[in-house]
Amino acid sequence: MDAFDLSRRVAAEALGTGILVATVVGSGIMAETLTKDVALALLCNTLPTGAILVVLITVLGPISGAHFNPAVTLVFTGKRELPANEAALYVIAQIAGGIAGTIAAHLMFGLPLLDLSTKVRTGGPQWFAEAVAAFGLVATILAGIRFQRTAVPWLVGLYITAAYWFTASTSFANPAVAIARSLTNTFSGIRPADLPGFILAELCGAFAGMLLMNWLLGRSHASVSVAITERPR
């Protein structure tokens, strides 16, 4: 990331989030067009999303870190790996890119540029599901970076593919994507009135994931002492 200036990193975040949302919304529209089977439509929505995450993180990760998600950006700010002023620009770019992604998907399918969703997604189980989804995403990213950095694109893509199915909310796990999805009255939409609950749950889950992984991945004083005393002389 140090090789790229801030303007390029911010642009990469906007581009990546935009393509991600275009994939989520566009594949949802395509699925609705091709089948009335909700389970099959969800599968058709899931596979492109997981696949595009692998691509986007692989090609844009070296530029910006490939957050594409305000919750992830705030985690790295909390870990003091991204300054707050840069994080703010990342978040703005992610939200703007996500909205552009919704517009792009609508243009491809001949729909109004923006169309507020009427799909209800609210209540305790949905909020808890979003917290779990964001928790797992952050845990996957942080552990992946620690142990297998080159596998992170696949780890994230596979995690989201699974989380689409094991969470009641279908795993938005991303405030910028949630905002963008509130602007499409299609398969992947969410009613704007339901955004606050989703976003708060996502941020809480991400923060909890950061706290746990900071402890879990941290080396204890005892293990450090052992490593020092056992170092070959």
Predicted pLDDT at 225: 46
The pair of structure tokens assigned to 23 is 């994939």
Predicted pLDDT at 153: 98
Confidence of residue 231 (pLDDT cuts 50, 70, 90): low
Predicted pLDDT at 1: 59
User: Which residues, including other chains, have CB under 8 Å from residue 138's CB and lie 6 or more apart?
Assistant: 71, 72, 75, 205, 206, 209, 210, 213
d(CA 149, CA 53) in angstroms, rounded, equals 15
* Residue range 124-180, pLDDT digits in tens: 999 999 999 999 999 999 999 999 999 999 999 999 999 999 999 999 999 999 999
The pair of structure tokens assigned to 100 is 């552009």
Confidence of residue 22 (pLDDT cuts 50, 70, 90): very high
User: Which residues, including other chains, have CB under 8 Å from residue 206's CB and lie 6 or more apart?
Assistant: 71, 72, 74, 75, 134, 135, 137, 138
3-state helix, strand, coil in the chain (%, to 5): 75, 0, 25
* Residue range 197-206, pLDDT digits in tens: 999 999 999 9
d(CA 121, CA 101) in angstroms, rounded, equals 21
